[in-house]
Structure 1
Amino acid sequence: MIEVPRIHLVVPCHTESGRIISFLPDLCREVTALGNVYVMVVEDGSGPEEAAKMQALIQRLRPQFPCLLPLKVLPQNVGKGGAVYAGWEDHQGAEWLGFVDADGSCSPAEVGRLITLAQQQNFKHPSELTAIFASRIKMLGRKVERLLKRHLLGRVYATLVSEMLRIPVYDSQCGLKLVPRVAYEKIADRLTIMRFAFDVELMVALLDSGCGIREVPIDWHETPGGKVHLVRDSWRMARDVAHIRARRAVWRQGKG
């Protein structure tokens, strides 16, 4: 019997104990059925009280779900990207590294569907490496339930990314991504952005290294309680994209 590739799936959390409690058990059930998928919750410096709540939740679920790894607690808040990368450091030899948001906007069923796509890939040559990014696009019968103002902001930001970085991407920010570990290890030392635009930097670095990216439309629904501030964080994201473009130019000069 051929063993499916091992997936190391990180769930980054900052004050998420109230939302993840309704998502994590179903996620663990879903990936348990797939086999060889391991879930690590990373508590991103939310403070002792929040860490204690998360620890209690993980300890309660682990006997039921062997796929659930011990909680990783970061002493300080390092941002979503920092939490993802900290979790990926503990991959235990997994062929795929992934992350999914804790709010459940990407349902366990959709997480399982993309993981299945990853497990079915068989890379025979480095040039065939392809990451899998979930995309919030209404096509192929997929449903996307999102506040209009957030949808419009997302489209503006996606256009900004495409134009400034010359990358034809529809949705760089959806909170479900799977990356071949060997592809990530080639670019890890290039990654410097740890907060909102980390997805964009990860995408750019993967593409520049020769790893392809497959955008997969998913069903997605907006979950109340998000922490993104539309005006403040839009400015930060635009600034980070400009920073990524500048660093990309330097890196390309060095390669040349």
Structure 2
Amino acid sequence: MAHVRATMGNELEEATTILVTPVWKDSARLARFGRELAEALAERRSDVAWIIADDGSGDAEVARLGELRDEFARVYPAVTVHAAAAHYGKGSVVKEAWGLKNEADWLAFVDADGSVGADDMLDLIEKARRSGRSTIAIRKNTEETRVEEDVLRWIRHHGFLLACRLILGVRSEDTQCGAKVLRGEDFREIRDRLVEPGLAFDAELLAEMTAAGLSWDECPVNWVRKGGSRVTAFADAWQMLRALFRIRSRLGLPG
């Protein structure tokens, strides 16, 4: 890939499950969540290869990520840093990192903010591998899970879900929750049709899976809003809405 800058570490050769944490100028939040994730991976004696995928944050951030990688690796050795050459967006860097191990049986990602905790993420991976089906996390209060989000975020969240259903025909309780596990076969079937580089990546992923006749399971997880997000309420929402119409056009769905 022309815009790959570097991959530090060499833990991918034997891995059958790849877990990507996308970051952009996010080393501070990763420092907190990364320690939690490294400890959970080590405690479970996981066979997951963890890739911290930087979306063009610049030399200083990449250097800091390298320091964090060394810290995490003392707890869980199978962690690498992959640095994209420039800032393209979450979707771009996740796909780029997944592409480092094209033949992996399972491909997953979890956001660096820790809103979905490490144990919930690893439970999601284990559930997917047991069922043999792609599995996505959803924010939903149940007897076992709790969701903490403010009213404005709830409105934006459910408004976007409605848009995904009306514009793309995607029926999901939560397209955007930042934790997903895909069968490698499912991803390889649709990867060449995934073109959205930014936050609409999740919606495009599910829309293309729907169009290809691929299904997925949905798993409620604990979700707690964390501070420090760079998502802007209106500018990013508008860009994501525009992306839905682009996706619909590429899929040839009726207007």
Residue 65 (str. 1) matches residue 76 (str. 2): yes
5+ unaligned residues in a row in structure 2: which ranges? 1-14
Amino acid at match of 1:46: S
Q: 1:208 to 1:92 in 2, by over 3 A?
A: closer
Query: Could you report, residue by residue, the CA deviation over 1:38-65 in whole angstroms, capped at 9, with x for unpaired residues?
Result: 1000111011111111111112322331
Instruction: Choose from 51, 54, 61 the match for 2:62.
Output: 51
Structure 2 counterpart of 1:211: 214
Taking structure 2 as the reference length, the TM-score comes to 0.89
The yes-or-no answer on 1:152 pairing with 2:155 is yes
Shift of 1:7: 1.4
Alignment correspondent of 2:18:
8
Match of 2:46 in 1: 35
Q: 1:68-87 maps to which residues of 2 (within 5 A)?
A: 68=79, 70-87=80-97
Note if contact 2:170-2:210 (Cα within 8 Å) is conserved in structure 1: no
1:223 aligns with 2:226: yes
Please tell me the residue identity of whatever aligns with 2:81: L
- Where does structure 1 lack aligned partners over 5 or more consecutive residues? 123-129
What is aligned with 1:237? 240
For 1:145 and 1:66, how far apart are their aligned partners in 2? 33
Q: Deviations over 1:163-218 (max 9, x none)?
A: 11222212100000000011111111101101011101111111222221111111
1:118 alignment counterpart:
128
Q: Which SS does the other structure have where 1:196 is aligned?
A: coil
The CA distance in 1 between the partners of 2:223 and 2:169, in whole Å, is 26
Distance in 2, Cα, partners of 1:140 & 1:93 = 37
- Three-state SS of the structure 1 residue aligned to 2:216 is strand
Contact 1:91 1:97 in 2 (8 A): no
Mapped contact 2:115–2:225 kept (Cα < 8 A): yes
- C-alpha RMSD over aligned residues: 1.6
- Measure the CA separation in 2 of the matches of 1:66 and 1:118: 23
Counterpart code for 1:81: G
3-state SS, counterpart of residue 195 of structure 1 = coil
> Which residue number corresponds to residue 126 of structure 1?
none
2:112 aligned with 1:102, yes or no?
Answer: yes
TM-score by length of 1: 0.89
1:191 maps to what in 2?
194
Q: Percent identity?
A: 28
Q: Which runs of 4+ in 1 moved over 4 A?
A: none
